[in-house]
Structure 1
Amino acid sequence: MRNKEDISKHVISMIQNSTLVTRGLCAFIILLYLIGFIPSVDTQLVMTPGFLIPPQVKVWTLVTSPFYETSFIVLLMDLAVLTVVGHVLEPLWNIRSYLIFIAVVNVGGLTLAALICYAVYFIARLESFLFLPFNGMYGFTCACAVAFKQAHPDRPVLPVLPFLRYKDLPILLLLVFVTLTVLGILSSSYVIMSSTYIVVSWVFLRFYQTKSDGSRGDMADSFSFASFFPEAVQPLVSVASGSVFHLLVMTSICPEAVRTYDVGASSSAITITLPGTLPADAQRRKQRAIKALNERLNKLDQPQSSQWPSMEDEDSTPSQPLPQGSPDTIELQDVAVETEPSKETTNEPALTTTDHTS
C-alpha cells in the first residue's frame, strides 16, 4: 500500500510538470477509469470486433477503448507512459502532429485488429475472435516505441542498459507480448493489437507524416521495415517488404519514395532540395557517420604509431660528410632524378639546398 501511494505521488508530480495536451489525455484516461465502475458500462467502452458491425455498430469504442483501463496499477503505468511520450514527441514535432499521430495509430490500429479478427473468423471459423476485447494503452505504447526508434535510434533506453537501444524496443515489446500469450498469461488480443499498432505507426511515420518543411514521411535507411528485425534476417525481410512496397506504389496506396539532398555548406553555394527528409534527419545521419569515422580512426592510430620508426636516434654519432663517388652519393642522385617529374606536375618551385662543407 505504501509503494502504491509513492508511485501515485510520483505520477501526479510528472503530470503537473507536463504539457496541456498531456494533462488533457491523462484526465481523459482517469475519467474513463472512474466511469468503468458503473455496472455493465465496460461493454460500451471496450472495442469488440463483433460489435463494430451491424446491428451494434459501436464505432465510438475506437476512441474510448485505447484509453480505458480496469486496473489501477496499469492506469498509473499508462499515465507515466503518456507523460514521458508527451515530453519527448510533442517538442520534437508539434501539438497538431502529435494529436494526429495519436488519432491515426489508435483508430488505424484498432481497425486493422478488427479486420484481422474478421479474417480469422472467415478462414478458420473461430467465432471467439469476433468477441475478443481490445482496450488499454499497450498498443499505443508499441506505436510510441516506433516513434522513438525514428527519433533516437541509437540512444539507450536506460543508462544502466546501454546495449538496449530504442531501435530494438518495438520488436522487443512485441516478443514480450508473444511470450506472455504463449504462456497463457495474456490473451491473443495483446499480440494482435501490439502488432497492428506497430505496422500502422510505421506506415504513417514512413510515408504520410507531414514535416515542418512540407515534406512527408521519413525514407531513412535506419527506419526501413527490415531494420525492425535482427541483422541476420534483414536481407530476406528487405526483399519481401520491397516487393510489397512496389505493389502498394503501383496501386497508389503508398507514395513513391523521394529523398532530399542538400549540396553546399554556405549561403552562396548551390542547394538542391527534393521533398523527402528533414535537416534533422540529415544531421542524425551525419552524427552517426562522424561517430563511425572516429571509431575507425582510433583503431588505425595505434598500428600506425607503432609502424613508423623514430626520425631521431639519440645514440647516433654526428653525421660525417660523404666522400664523393661513394655508393650513397649515387643513390641520392638517383632519388633526386626520380623525384624531378613530381616537381613539374605539381607546378611547385624546386627546393634548392646549399652545401656549406668545404
Structure 2
Amino acid sequence: MPPRLNIPPVTRVVLVVLLLQSVLSAAVRYRQWSAHSEIVVEWLTLIPQLSLFYPWTFLTATLVENNIFTLAIAGLTLYHGGRYLERAWSSREFAKFLLVASLIPNTLTFLVLVTLFTITRNERWTLTTIAGTIPLQISFLVAFSQLVPAHTVTLFRGVLSLRVPKFPLIYICIVAVLSLTPLLTSASLFLSIFGLLASWTYLRFYKTIFPDLDSSQPTSLRGDASETFAFAEFFPGPVKPFVSAITEPIFNLLVAMRICTPFSQADISAAQGSNFIQRSGHGGVRAEAERRRALALKVLDQRLHAATAGPSGASRSQSQPPNQPGGSGAHTHQQPNAQAAMTSQPTAVLGETNYNPDHDHSDKSDS
C-alpha cells in the first residue's frame, strides 16, 4: 500500500491552485499562440496596463507559473516549505503569511513598473507580466532564517556549506541572473526584493510569536526582536555594519510614519521568558531566551513527528538525547529537533543540515 501524503490544508489548497492556474494559463496561451505577438492572460496574471479591471490578479498572479521548469521548482518549494511552516505556525498564521508575501510584493512591483513607464515612456514596462511564486519562495527562506538561524545547509556532499540566513541574498542573485533569460520576466527581480522586505518586516514586527511551551507567557506578543533575525544578518560579515547604518534611519522613518512599532521596555521584560532574543537585554537574558527557544522547538518537533510518522516518529523523538544542562543556552545546546524537522523531508532538495552556533557572533553580542 503506497504511503499516504499528509499535507496540511492550506498547503494542499495552494498546491492545487498553483497547478490549476498554471495549466489554465498554458492552455490559453497555447490556444492563442501567434508567431508575431506575445500572448498574455491579463485576467489571471498581473499586467499593469491590462489588469486594472481584474483586481483579483494582485493575488492570483502569485500562483501562476509560465513554464514547466519554474512550475516544478514552485511545487517542490510549496510542498516542503509549506508543510514545515504550516505545522510550525498553524494554518491560520500560515495563510496570513502567504497573503502578506503575495499581495505586498505584487502591489509594490506594479507601482515600480508604472513609475518606470512614467519616467522612460517605454510601454514595455506596463506590459511586463507579474506572476510566479518568487515572492513566496524567498519569503519561505526568510521564515527559515527566523526559525533555524544557526543551522548550516551542506550542499554537493560537503563541498559547500552555508548558514540558512545567507540563502535569501543568494536567491536574489540567482533571480537577477535568470531574469536576463526567457525563464523569468524583468519583474522577477523586483518581486524577490519586495518579497524579502515584506516577509521580514511582517515576521520582525507584526506576526504573533510562537508561544514558549514551557512558560505561561501571554500570546499577544508580536514580532521577533532577536539579534539573529536582524536585517543585517542576511548579508556577509564585512557588509553588516554598512547595512545597519542604512537600515537604522529607515527604521526610524517607518516608526515616525507609524508603519513599524519599536519594541517597548514592557515587551522586552515580557520577552525574557519567551522564544526570542531581546535587542537590549544582557547576555544572561539572551542565553535564557535561547534555552527556552530550544525547548519549545524540541516539543514542536516531537509533535510534528508524532503526527506525520506515527509510532515510528514518536519512538525517534523519544530516542533523542536530552540537552546538556548548564552552559550558555543557545551557544552550547544542540537542537536535534530542528535538525530533524529540516532534514526529514527537504533533504533530497537542499542537502544535509546541521546546527553549529556561531560562537564568535554570540560572544560579540553578549559583550
Q: TM-score, normalised by structure 1?
A: 0.68
Aligned to 1:24: 13
- Asked if 1:290 is matched to 2:287, the reply is no
1:232 is paired with a residue of what secondary structure?
helix
Question: Matches of 2:357 and 2:61 in 1, distance apart?
Answer: 48
Paired with 2:257 and 2:73, the residues of 1 have a C-alpha distance of 41
For the Cα contact (< 8 Å) 1:139–1:193, is it kept in 2?
yes
Name the structure 1 match of 2:128. Answer: 132
CA offset digits 1:22-64 (Å, max 9, x no partner): 2221111122123221346722111112235xxx432111121
The 8 Å contact of residues 129 and 185 in structure 2, kept in 1 or not, is answered as no
Aligned to 1:247: 253
Per the alignment, do residues 45 and 249 of structure 1 end up closer, same or farther by CA in structure 2, a change over 3 Å counting?
same
Q: Call closer, same or farther: CA 1:223–1:295 in 2, change over 3 Å.
A: closer
Gaps of 5+ in 1: 1-12, 263-271, 297-358
Are the counterparts in 1 of residues 11 and 86 from structure 2 also a CA contact under 8 Å?
A: no
Q: Aligned equivalents of 2:168 and 2:205: distance in 1?
A: 18
Q: Aligned pair 1:110/2:106, yes or no?
A: yes
Contact kept? 1:65, 1:135, Cα under 8 Å: yes
CA distance in 1, matches of 2:55, 2:14: 20
Q: In the alignment, is residue 122 of structure 1 matched against residue 118 of structure 2?
A: yes
153-162 vs 73-82, which moves further: 153-162
- Number of aligned pairs? 271
Residues 259 and 274 in structure 1, CA contact (< 8 A), matched pair in contact too: no
**What SS does the corresponding residue of 2:42 show, helix, strand or coil?**
helix
Deviation of the 1:121 alpha carbon: 2.1
Q: Is the 8 A contact 2:226 2:276 kept in 1?
A: no
Residues 84-108 of structure 1: CA distance to partner in whole angstroms, max 9, x if unpaired? 1122111211111000000111011
Q: Gaps spanning 5+ residues in structure 2: where?
A: 33-39, 212-218, 278-288, 295-327, 334-355, 361-367
| 1:202 and 2:191 aligned | no
What does 1:1-358 align with in structure 2 at a 5 Å threshold?
16-36=5-25, 37-38=27-28, 39=31, 42-52=41-51, 56-158=52-154, 160-161=157-158, 163-182=161-180, 186-211=184-209, 212=211, 213-258=219-264, 272-274=269-271, 278-279=274-275, 282-283=289-290, 284=293, 287-290=329-332
The CA deviation string for residues 215-237 of structure 1, in whole angstroms up to 9 with x for no partner, is 11111111111111111111111
**Bigger RCO of structures 1 and 2 (CA < 8 A, at least 6 apart):** 2
